[in-house]
Amino acid sequence: MTLTVAVQMDPLDQINIGGDSTFALMLAAQARGHRLFHYLADALNYADGRVWARAHPVTVQRVAGKHYAFGDPVPLDLGAEADVVLMRQDPPFDLGYITATHLLERIMDRTLVVNNPVAVRNAPEKVFVLDYARFMPPTLVTRSLDEARAFLAEHGEIVVKPLHGNGGKAIFRVGSDGANLSALIEVFNTAWREPHMVQAFLPDVAKGDKRIVLIDGEVAGAINRLPGAGEIRSNLAVGGSAEKTVLTEEEREICAALGPELKARGLMFVGIDVIGGKWLTEINVTSPTGIVAIERFDGTDVAGLIWDAIEVKLADQ
């Protein structure tokens, strides 16, 4: 089966091909003989029931600095000419992101969109995870300084982060003395209109933050991400490092609880984050990462498994 694959992502000249999951998916698709097109989310158009983007035919190779080659752009009808759309642009999860999901929703009866744009819109990483609060560390969602102070008094040390942040950005640890908490909440309330996430600080974060990848609800692999020196953040994008890992029984329980719901929602490629072998902190559905590191440590072709799942889905339609 030869597929036409439209990849909605960030500019290709800005990615790190050594670790970028979308690039790995493109390489795997090309190796299977699929035709690739690249476009940015702001290139989406709608008229008369059609959704299209001015997209570049693209070929890719694992050669830094020469990793892609564009053909002349064409107006690609995503509902009529694409078999698959990979929605892989990075957050912020703002109105631009949400609007893209609304437009792609209109082609879902004809084209497979991965991940399902309706599910992505309804499952932002730090909100969807609240459905599984039994696996989470103590958590508060608020804009209130008084509520944050009371939460700090109860839990001793806390972490404050944007509700719709990504990549480990703007995550702050506040000690038991509460120094700068009022200033921090003031800055957050100025920068963002939505509430913020406040969680009990987990000392086990020093041992790493496990990224577990699920494909169509099934575990495909995992890595442990270790924070850099002087950091509490272990995201690879902010200097964390990865190591080989295995799942704990508690992590398997979490995956078993999430898997059927992810599959039912059409969330085919998901990355969850777990600290201390048992504390679920995020369910990443927008543009999850980690598959390159998993392959490096375990030899598991996660990109190939994702394409296997996509091809099965298309064959069943």
Catalytic pick among 88, 121, 233, 265: 233
Give the integer Cα–Cα distance in Å for 229 and 216. Answer: 35
Instruction: Identify whether 282 is a catalytic site residue.
Output: yes
Bridge partners, 37 (sequence order): 6, 57
The token pair that represents 161 in the structure block? 């982060």
Instruction: Identify whether 284 is a catalytic site residue.
Output: yes
Instruction: Identify whether 225 is a catalytic site residue.
Output: yes
Instruction: Identify whether 211 is a catalytic site residue.
Output: yes
Catalytic pick among 88, 210, 225, 265: 225
Burial of 203 (0-12, 13-18, 19+ CB in 10 A): exposed
Instruction: Identify whether 296 is a catalytic site residue.
Output: no
Catalytic pick among 88, 126, 210, 265: 126
What are the E-state strand segments in 61-131? 68-70, 74-77, 84-87, 112-114
Catalytic pick among 20, 125, 209, 273: 273
**DSSP element (H, E) containing 250:** helix 249-265
Q: Rounding to the nearest 10 degrees, give the CA dihedral for residues 236, 240, 244, 250.
A: -90
Catalytic pick among 161, 166, 209, 235: 161
Bridge partners, 160 (sequence order): 172, 198
Catalytic pick among 209, 216, 251, 282: 282
Instruction: Identify whether 180 is a catalytic site residue.
Output: no
Catalytic pick among 211, 216, 251, 265: 211
Instruction: Identify whether 161 is a catalytic site residue.
Output: yes
Active site residues: 126, 161, 211, 225, 233, 273, 282, 284
